[in-house]
């Protein structure tokens, strides 16, 4: 039997659930779960089929699914995605950008210092979330490395430039869903 990237995880989930005494009726993918969680299935009770495109970007994976919802019944028509692309990839791009900037500005390499990298990563995650609703944000970390304070700005346009290849990959997966 050949398993896809997700099948071993699904099998493990099924086994753990059964060992916990749960009656597993069906395993659904993240986009379908999102549709149910947001109430899209219940809202689509009007006559006629509704097509809903669900875009799910998790920490380490990304899925896009086309769902057909009719009279409260949800059917997955098509799905695509990348099991090796998620929010952490965007965090890593920002982290690497600011590590290079720190080195350029201060002639110091923080890449070997786990504490500094952890603090910078936390600031990058915050900046990523902020850029989803504003055009620019700042990163300010006191004594990031060897007593040096770090301050920098990043715009949404620069963030998009740093991650354009990732956005293109996601766009390509969306085009696979008819």
pTM, entire model: 0.78
Band (pLDDT 50/70/90 cuts) for residue 20 is: confident
> How do residues 33-69 score in pLDDT, each as one tens digit?
777 777 766 665 556 778 888 888 889 988 888 888 8
Question: What is the rounded distance in angstroms from the CA atom of residue 38 to the CA atom of residue 102?
Answer: 41
Contact (Cβ atoms closer than 8 angstroms) between residue 155 and residue 136? yes
Indicate the number of domains in the chain.
2
Residue 121 shares a structural domain with residue 159: yes
| Same domain flag for 60 and 124 | no
Tell me whether residue 10 is in a domain.
no
Q: Do residues 36 and 74 both lie within one domain? A: yes
Question: Count of alpha carbons within 13 Å of 81, Cβ hemisphere only?
Answer: 25
Q: In what order do the strands lie in the sheet with 62-70?
A: 50-57, 62-70, 73-82
Taking only the tens place, the pLDDT of each residue in 129-147 is 999 999 999 999 999 999 9
Domain assignment of residue 144, given as a range: 87-165
Residue 71 has pLDDT above 90, yes or no: no
CATH number, position 149: 3.90.640.10
Residue among 90, 111, 61, 103 at smallest CA distance from 163: 90
Both structure tokens of 146: 């060897």
CATH code of the domain in which 60 resides = 3.30.420.40
In a domain, 175, yes or no: no
Q: What percent of the chain has pLDDT over 70?
A: 90
Residue 81 — left, alpha, or beta (φ > 0 → left; ψ -120 to 50 → alpha)? left
State the DSSP string of 110-170. -TT-HHHHHHHHHHHHHHHHHHTTSSEEEEEEEEEETTEEEEEEEEHHHHHHHTHHHHHHH
Instruction: Say yes or no: 102 and 139 in one domain.
Output: yes
The count of other CB atoms within 10 Å of the CB of residue 40 is 17
For the residues 100-109, what does the mean pLDDT come to? Answer: 98
Residues 63 and 100 both lie in one domain: no
Strands 62-70 and 50-57: antiparallel
Q: 38, 54, 85 — which closes off a domain?
A: 85
Tell which of 85, 107, 129 closes a domain.
Answer: 85
Domain presence at residue 3: no
């Amino acid at each position: 039997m050949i398993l896809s990237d997700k099948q071993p995880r699904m099998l493990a989930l099924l086994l753990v659930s059964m060992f916990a005494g749960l009656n597993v009726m069906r395993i659904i993918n993240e986009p379908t779960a999102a549709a149910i969680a947001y109430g899209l299935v219940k809202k689509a009770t009007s006559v006629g089929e509704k097509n809903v495109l669900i875009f799910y970007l998790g920490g380490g994976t990304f899925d896009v699914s086309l769902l057909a919802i009719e009279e409260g019944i949800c059917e997955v028509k098509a799905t695509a995605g990348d099991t090796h692309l998620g929010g952490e990839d965007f965090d890593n791009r920002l982290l690497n950008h600011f590590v290079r900037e720190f080195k350029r500005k201060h002639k110091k390499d923080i890449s070997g210092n786990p504490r500094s990298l952890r603090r910078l990563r936390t600031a990058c995650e915050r900046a990523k979330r902020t850029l989803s609703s504003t055009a620019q944000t700042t990163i300010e970390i006191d004594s990031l490395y060897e007593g040096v304070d770090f301050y920098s700005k990043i715009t949404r346009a620069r963030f998009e430039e740093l991650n354009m290849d990732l956005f293109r990959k996601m766009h390509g997966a969306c085009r696979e869903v008819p």
